[in-house]
Amino acid sequence: MEWKIGDVEIENQIVLAPMAGICDSAYRRIVKSMGCGLIETEMVSTRAVMHLNRKTREMLHMTDYERPIAQQIFGSDSESFKIAAEYIYKNMSPEIIDINMGCPVPQVVKAGEGVALMEDLPKASKIIEACKRSGKVVSVKCRIGMNPEKIVIEEFARMCESSGADMITVHGRTRSMMYEGEPLYDYIRIAKNAVKIPVFANGGIDSKEKAEMTMSKTGADGVMLARFGFENPLLFAELTNTKTPDTKYTLIMEQLDIATECFDELFALTYIKKLSSYFMKKLPGTKKYKQDLYKCGSVGLVREVLGRIFWG
């Protein structure tokens, strides 16, 4: 079903989560081919955008095929967000800027970034307002709070809406839970009921049944897939009723072609080995397969080894 986030039209309510080290252009393209309605990039530091280098430029690269796309940025002060958002809109033209207020990793939190911003609502509000000055669509990705004693999602969601956010994605865990345990669906529902803008649910969605259950329990407008979508991109196709390649081998070969087109051989090899490792998780003899795969020093050898792994 087609609908809108702000004035951005998307084909359905299935979103790719912005996973660091994973959501580069090559992976985003394969997910798009699986019918994903909105693509999110891996997060980029606002400071890195302000001091642009080659790596940051590569991280900001996006293609028209991936659109509509949301560029996620993270930082700790409104001025750097304002400058980064303006630069990204002017030079990359994503349809949406997504603000990371949910990353739980220690180095990010210690810098006052990611989920740490949920403890300072006035600062978080200024950041959203700074990004909105571009006049473009802005979304916020957050958690439900820092720990069970500091669950602030209802107040936080209202702050996001009043500050101009067009959408919120709620990871239904506290920072202290990291990525473990069942998401606390009731708090996602609380966020949904607190605001009029779209609220998406994130966390633990590993199947069509889990996606449907999450929607039912939370009343969310859509779902965001993270690591389970990386382990099995075919899940996007299942959720969007999109025709897919016949086998995981075909999908990996398509992804390898895209990776070699986008990157140099060394990076393409690293990327496809990582992706293939996830794909072969449930295959018997996985340990030996991975050893063979990681010994490969060329794209040609990777193709040969993957052929043996999936076809025998």
Return the active site residues: 103
E strand residue ranges, the chain = 3-5, 8-10, 14-16, 39-40, 44-45, 69-74, 96-101, 137-142, 167-171, 199-202, 222-225
256-289 per-residue burial string, b: 16 or more CB within 10 A, e: under 16: bebbbebbeeeebbebbbebbeebbeeeeeeeeb
CB 240 within 8 A of CB 2: no
Find out whether 165 and 4 touch, Cβ atoms under 8 Å.
Answer: no
Q: At what angle do helices 265-279 and 299-311 cross, to 10 degrees?
A: 10
> Is the distance from CB of 226 to CB of 273 less than 8 angstroms?
no
Identify any residues that bridge with 145 across adjacent strands, giving them in sequence order. Answer: 151
Three-class secondary structure of residue 301 per DSSP = helix
| Rounded Cα distance, 255 and 145, in Å | 36
Q: How many angstroms separate the CA atoms of 167 and 258, rounded?
A: 31
